[in-house]
Chains A and B, each alone.
Chain A
Amino acid sequence: MTALRTGIATIALFAATPLTAQEITLYSGRGETLVAPLIETFTESTGIEVNVRYGGTAELAVLLNEEGAASPADIYWAQDVAALGQIKPVFAELPGEMLEDIPAIYRDGDNRWTGTSGRMRLMVYSTERMQADELPATMAEMTDDRFAGTMALPPTNGSFLAHVTALRVHEGDEAARAWLQELADNDPVIVSNNTAIHTAIADGEADWGLTNNYYLSRFLADDPDFPADHALFEAGDIGNLMMVAGAGVLESSDSPEAAMAFIEFLLSDTAQQYFAGNVHEYPVRGDAVAAFSGIGVDYGTASEAAIEFDLNELTDLEGTLEMLEEVGLL
């Protein structure tokens, strides 16, 4: 891998105009605390300078749509799949050999983008008021009467919208609408985002919720006694959805080689280990990474339980929004 990476970097360097340092522009929906150290390493090893525009994943996707071919960006790095699906038409194809180690569930089927780290959907619950075996065994069971008024729900959260979209793809629109209606009728505690699910649980406003895997570790890092834990649904249930943060190279890029080298770097052992250790997300190349040291469900258990699902089908967020409005959750 390292040889391949160096090879690509070398090609990228030779392709550059002599005496001019290569420069690429990255639109990053991922935050500076995460990205900056990686870029430093990348620039040290390849000599390629990276200009980063930090912003919200959605805002940057809207910006890229507006800019079209005139975009100064070479790479877009998004926090969620829906944004990648939006930009997919203007992404260039990534070389097949770069992605051969990446399982299909982590990347675009047409190689237009790749996941850079996995973000598992799972349940978080109050260890003060619930036992793990009281939780629903499947996503379908979430609407059971016994959970009336106990679940924290963020209807406008991007990950939740994507997860409901996955349910629509998997079970059909009718079943998904019925599920949402029952969920809405079950008097959920409406919150604004995933962080708020956790604070609502700690505050006693809610007992459990459906969230992403990396939030709990952040709370535990700040407070080891944070009163919550993770639980998975049954193996293969649509509830156990592995989503990704991912990146692609824009077709309009004027330094595609250098941009490809950066994507290659994000998939390297160094970067993959860094994601696991620093933000408690799952590597997209499990073979390359030492045992996951994060808190909560470990990589092996999570990837075994995760459903095989084509993330590219998660494009119709608008339809999901309409459905949420129909059932009165929005």
Chain B
Amino acid sequence: MSLSEGLSVRRAPADRTFAQGAGLLVGALMIVPLFYLVLRAFEADFDTALSMIFRPRTGWLLVNTAALTAGVLAFSTVIALPLAWLTTRTDLPARGVANVLAVLPLAVPGYVMAYALIGLSGNYGFMAEIFGVTFPRPYGWFGATLALTLYTFPYLYLNLRTAFQGLDASLEESARALGCGRAEVFRRVVLPHLIPALCAGWLVIGLYTIGDFGAVALMRFEVFSYTIYTQYSAAFDRVYASWLSLILIVIALLFVWGESRLRERQSYARTGSGAGAGPRRTALGRRGRIAGWAFVALVATMSIGLPVSVLTFWMTRSPLVAQLPDLVQSFGQSLSVAAPSAVLAAGLAMPVAWLAVRHPSPTSSLINRLAFVGYAVPPLAFALAFVFFALRAAPFLYQTHLLLVTAYALAFLALALGPIRSALYQARPSMEESARALGLGPAETFLRVTLPTIRPGVVAGMVLVLVIAMKELPIAFLLAPTGFRPLAITMFSRTSEGMLLQAAPFAAAIMAFSALFVGFILRHDSKVGGSR
């Protein structure tokens, strides 16, 4: 303490040193896949690589990628913003239920959503079989946009929800008292405070969209990520695929850079004295409540009802043998990876977020941008990088549980970072300063003051990682211990033999278990559950 007092008057740097050390470790680990891709890319014949990159096809694939991303961001905002407002800032009845319904679509694997939309329509689809109505099939840009929106909008919802909850109502009241109308308050006071959350949500959804190839392939919409997958899987090539991956990463990092520019210029925490007021709820009235629930029901029907009913339809057509023991075992294995990955990702995200919010500097900006690399690298390339380095540097770790958990934590760190960072922006540094002044050490201050304040963000971040880790495939193929059979792999190895119907119970299990877990956490965390 005496040393630290000499270095800083306001705050002892022990916490800062720790956060910087942890942040640098995260940054270094994120460079692993980049290093690998550059290494592979240099094996290329330069002319071939250039002719591959600079061709018209690359151009229109990038245009398609941009169109898809714009569509998904717009649609998910239209869904998530009203939902978050309804569940946090209104007196909508059964808000807890609405909240769970808004988060559950995260549990739907992308391929199930795409299959659901496709399986719903057509002459041989669900609607035709059950009701005798033939729907036109959603394909191309619209189909891909719809499918991706319906299971990614909760990322934005969760971020916005955290932001709405952390918003200090006294600010709005002051604005009202100063003569602003409701709309003006929203535009001039509320919206600016939602910007970090909007950006964090858009970033995660945008990165997911440019990297996804499952749903877009099923919807026959060709985007850039698709060529990368084809290069690996049909040409068995790791060299030119690395070039393409690096291009995708550059685009992704431009996104990240843009988001940080928007975010880092602002200040969002309360600075005044006195206690902040909790959020006030708007009284909706009878019609408002009906309209609110109609909106929730519409979104839930599309995003949850659809995949659930299509899966149910498949399951009624397959001889559903007693697969419960298999399911339970697979679930246990899925959870044994997903849960520690979630905890580790949140643990690594906290120092990174802390640096960004409390100690902004060029280094902390760099670390915060690098933290997105894991999420931006195409999963197959990401997994290959860890194969490469584990075999050379730590063969004893290769294809172990520990390596898989670490890889997941790094790949999905960005998901945990968003909500944690948003929560920290709203936590008041003066509270921590008071705690320190009253004699608490840095660790104690963090555990007793900061952590309770940012807990909703931490929980939201962990849920996001947990749920995506339950359904992830390519990384598990390469890095899971041999013989390991989580739900997603079991489901895949049934569909790969064309046994779509036999795979349905496992797809359903992924959704059911993820849903149960999300529901459980939301129920037991009043700050996230928001039923009061």
Contacts and interface: CB of A to CB of B under 8 A. Distances in A.
A325 interface: yes
Contact of A62 (B123, B230, B384, B391): B384
Contacts, number: 135
A23 to B, nearest CB: 10
Contacts of A220: none
Contacts of A83: 236
Nearest to B391: A70
B485 A62 contact: no
A215 B496 CA distance: 11
A203 interface: yes
Label chain A's interface by main secondary structure.
helix
A34 interface: yes
Contacts of A82: 234, 236
A156 B236 CA distance: 13
A202 interface: yes
Contact of B485 (A33, A54, A218): A54
A60 interface: yes
Contact of B125 (A51, A54, A161, A203): A203
A114 interface: no
Nearest to B40: A66
A65 B380 contact: no
Contacts of A194: 498
Contacts of B118: 199
A59 interface: yes
A79 B388 CA distance: 25
A76 B174 CA distance: 69
Contacts of B498: 194-195, 214-215, 218
Contacts of A156: 217, 230, 234
Given A31-B493, A55-B477, A321 B238 contact: no
| From A66, A158, A317, residue with most partner B Cβ within 10 Å | A66
B339 interface: no
A317 B236 contact: yes
A297 interface: no
A321 B230 contact: yes
Interface stretch (B10-18, B66-74, B367-375, B499-507): B499-507
Interface string A44-60: 00000001111111111
A204 B236 contact: no
B238 A66 contact: yes
Contact of A318 (B237, B388, B492, B501): B237
Given A56-B492, A321-B234, A222 B485 contact: no
A118 interface: no
Contacts of A202: 123-124
Interface string B466-505: 0000000010011010110100011011111111111000
Interface of A: 25, 29-34, 51-63, 65-67, 70, 72, 79, 82-83, 86, 156, 158, 161, 190-192, 194-195, 199, 202-205, 214-215, 218, 222-223, 279, 317-318, 321, 325, 330
Interface of B: 57, 118, 122-125, 137, 217-218, 220, 222, 230, 232-238, 317-318, 380, 384, 387-388, 391, 395, 398-399, 474, 477-478, 480, 482-483, 485, 489-490, 492-502
A-B pairs with the 3 shortest C-beta distances? A58-B233, A55-B477, A203-B122
7 contacts: A30-B496, A56-B492, A59-B233, A156-B217, A199-B118, A202-B124, A330-B57
